[in-house]
Amino acid sequence: MTESDMQDENGHGAGGVLHVVATPLGNADDLSPRARRVLSTADLILAEDTRRAGSLFARLGLAHAGRLMSFYEHNEDKRLPKVLEFLENGASVALISDAGTPLLSDPGFTLVRACRERGIRVTPVPGPSAPVTALSASGLPPLPYTFLGFLPRRKGHTEKLLAAHRDTGATLVFFERKSRLKGSLAICREVLGDRPFCIARELTKDFEEFVSGSLADISGVDPEMRGEITVLVGPPEAEAQTGEEDIARIVEEESAAGGKPKEIARRVADRAPGWTAKEVYALMRDA
């Protein structure tokens, strides 16, 4: 008998189950039927903020009396043994964040890892996710992408983080607070160079907004921008590749200046966007 055979779809049975439940970013209609069912029947609901969770449940028309427990960054370690005891006794537990998918810059990783180590079933209940939602409508390259969470508070740490991802060719996605937004974009410009960016604000809410621009000019970014903010910084925009006819002309010019073939190829590549010295050299040999 498998682990899933021992339990019904809501996690009740011989062993407990932890449901990692995605909740709406703003629009209550985005809650999936499965998530609604799990939140309606779970024995215990772990919430990053019980007040916000209570407000969400009211909007969704779900009862929660006696089932909410606060579970956030500063009490996660303290709550962990009690939650694991519930699960080991066969309880169905749902983990939610303030909005979106838990663990993405929210508490829960310690709990999920502890459950895996103890053989307690963990199942995702997928749904809204701010990084993916922003990426899908940003107009920036969707693949590859790297989610950085919230940028570090110290400038030096932010610079180090961005530098580590500078040459990956990925669209970088991170959360930011309005008070730090312009400063973070300026650091991105310093470390990454000029790149396209998109700010996604208040996703799925009434005042949803996408602001696009270039890191070379962030003067149009409102320093008083309010709401939940997701920032996307695209990879460098590729320059148009020089055509073979132009390459042949540049090779002729550089050859006239003298030098060994590989030296000429390097000089040509310096003048020809999209070409490497190796590619130019191969073209020269085939000519």
Ramachandran bin of 255, using left for φ above 0, alpha for ψ from -120 to 50, beta for the remaining angles: alpha
Give the C-alpha separation, 229 to 181, whole Å: 9
d(CA 261, CA 250): 13
Phi, psi of 173 (to 5 degrees): -125, 130
Task: Please tell me the distance from the alpha carbon of residue 142 to that of residue 111, in angstroms, as a whole number.
Answer: 30
105: nearest Cα among 231, 194, 239: 231
> CA-to-CA distance for 287 and 256, rounded, in angstroms?
16
Helix axes 50-60, 33-41, angle to 10 degrees: 120
> Would you call 110 exposed, middle or buried from its count of C-beta atoms within 10 A (0-12, 13-18, 19+)?
middle
- Side chain identity, residue 31: L
Q: What are phi and psi of 4, to 5 degrees?
A: -70, -25
| pLDDT per residue rounded down to tens, the chain (287 residues) | 344 434 455 544 457 999 999 999 999 999 999 999 999 999 999 999 999 999 999 998 998 888 999 999 899 999 999 999 999 999 999 999 999 999 988 889 999 999 999 999 999 999 999 999 999 999 999 999 999 999 999 999 999 999 999 889 999 999 999 999 999 999 999 999 889 999 999 999 999 999 999 998 898 888 888 899 999 999 987 666 677 888 899 999 999 999 999 999 989 888 887 678 888 998 898 86
Give kind and range of the element (H or E) at residue 253: helix 244-256
Assess contact for 224 and 182: CB atoms under 8 A. Answer: no
Q: What is the pTM of this model?
A: 0.76
- Nearest of 88, 79, 76 to residue 119 by alpha carbon: 88
Sequence-separated (6 or more) residues with CB below 8 Å from residue 14: 6, 7, 90
Q: Classify burial at 101, counting beta carbons within 10 Å of its beta carbon; exposed 0-12, middle 13-18, buried 19 or more.
A: buried
